[in-house]
Structure 1
Amino acid sequence: MFGRTENPELWTFLESLHHGEILSGTVAAIERFGVFVALDDGPDHPAFPGVGFITYPELSWRRFEAASDVVRVGQRVSCEFLQFDTWNAEARLSLRAAQPDPFQAFADRTEMGQVLHGQITGLVPFGAFVRVADGVEGLIHLKDLAQRPVASLEDSVQVGEEVTVAVVEIDRARRRLALGRLQPTPRT
């Protein structure tokens, strides 16, 4: 159905694209598995709403709940071409690659041991995530959350709580930030 002989115009177009090339188009549909983009210079797809496709991880550097938090149908977008998906005969795209990475900008201006203020955004069995800048979250490991052992994570922090943390490690390659919680100094 999506072969070269059945869709020569589509295949010729997709084979002409180069990794890293910026393509423009319009968001054609938002599905539970990704976003279809009708590319300006691309032909119609025989089965999908657009010849371009963005998976959820490639939509944004920031955490989001639904694709509609990032894009809407009819919105104009510029995306980086990642690869030609020969199985689905579509252009795999990245919207986030065409935007600056907030983590790298954060890492450029942040030092080890630096004290930051943030908000708890999520609790996991091994610790708590803290938003320390727009689009940047770090992890406080479970062992660093409380001064004394607690029965459950919720006994030491709550989602939405403001905390003071120190930068323990910045891993640029894996986009990971390790934090240590600074306990408030008791007032006398």
Structure 2
Amino acid sequence: MGPSENPGLRVFLESLRPGEILSGRVAAMERFGVFVALDDGPGHPVFPGVGFITIPELSWRRIEAASDVTAVGQHVSCEFLGFDTWNLEARLSLRAMQPDPFQEFADRTAVGRRLHGPVTKLVPFGVFVRVADGVEGLVHLRELAWTPVESPEDVVKVGDEISVVAIEIDRERRRVSLSRRQA
């Protein structure tokens, strides 16, 4: 019996409303997300749980794997995002249950403020710097040094602590633009 042939499961999922809080136990962890067996709800005929949390919805922070945040058997409370009609699952968010560190950072940080942090990643167009717990900003190549820079590795390496200035804070896209030149 495929998931679409389970009328009880469909009725349950259709009764859920976005924003509703659901709880359950982590039933299985995959590289693409986490299955949750809900406390109040039917089982799933195919998957280890009716609830599913994608990797980005596990945490506000950048994580490598689900195991960075949760473990099989752990009890979790999540916000219901929507009903995945193809897989007959409740799409859930664990991160929605915690304050967004980016918004907290934006509340207390003005453009022009000097910040300090480690370089976390080099990309062809610049470097990412951790400026607060759970918040990384981009220093574009043109803002990395006073002289033109071909490649970020010419100037810094991952782990270097550098001073930067916030030049733009975009709350909607959750992005911080930084300048090392202006620091």
TM tier relative to shorter chain: over 0.9
Structure 1 distance, partners of 2:85, 2:150, is: 52
Contact persistence 2:130–2:136 (CA under 8 A): yes
Q: Give the counterpart letter for 1:15 in structure 2.
A: E
Q: Report the equivalent of 1:140.
A: 139
Which stretches of structure 1, 4 residues or more, deviate above 6 A after TM superposition?
none
- Give the TM-score normalised by the residue count of structure 2: 0.96
Contact persistence 2:26–2:73 (CA under 8 A): yes
Contact persistence 1:164–1:183 (CA under 8 A): no
**How far does residue 133 in structure 1 lie from its aligned partner after superposition?**
0.5
1:2 aligns with 2:3: yes
Q: Report the equivalent of 1:174.
A: 173
Structure 2 distance, partners of 1:152, 1:171, is: 26
**How far does residue 13 in structure 1 lie from its aligned partner after superposition?**
1.1
Q: Deviations over 1:3-49 (max 9, x none)?
A: 2xx31221121111000001011110001221100010011100000
Q: Report the equivalent of 2:73.
A: 74
Q: Give the counterpart letter for 1:137 in structure 2.
A: E
Q: Give the counterpart letter for 1:44 in structure 2.
A: G
Q: Give the counterpart letter for 2:62 in structure 1.
A: R
Q: Report the equivalent of 1:149.
A: 148
- Give the TM-score normalised by the residue count of structure 1: 0.93
> SS at the partner of 2:172?
coil
Contact persistence 1:127–1:139 (CA under 8 A): yes
Percent of pairs identical after alignment? 73
**How far does residue 182 in structure 1 lie from its aligned partner after superposition?**
4.6
> SS at the partner of 1:10?
helix
**How far does residue 141 in structure 1 lie from its aligned partner after superposition?**
0.5
Structure 1 distance, partners of 2:88, 2:41, is: 12
Contact persistence 2:142–2:149 (CA under 8 A): no
Uncovered stretches (5+) of structure 1, i.e. residues with no partner: none
Q: Report the equivalent of 1:57.
A: 56
Structure 1 distance, partners of 2:150, 2:49, is: 51
The number of equivalent residue pairs is 182
> SS at the partner of 1:107?
helix
Q: Structure 2 matches for 1:85-100, cutoff 5 A?
A: 85-100=84-99
Q: Structure 2 matches for 1:28-39, cutoff 5 A?
A: 28-39=27-38
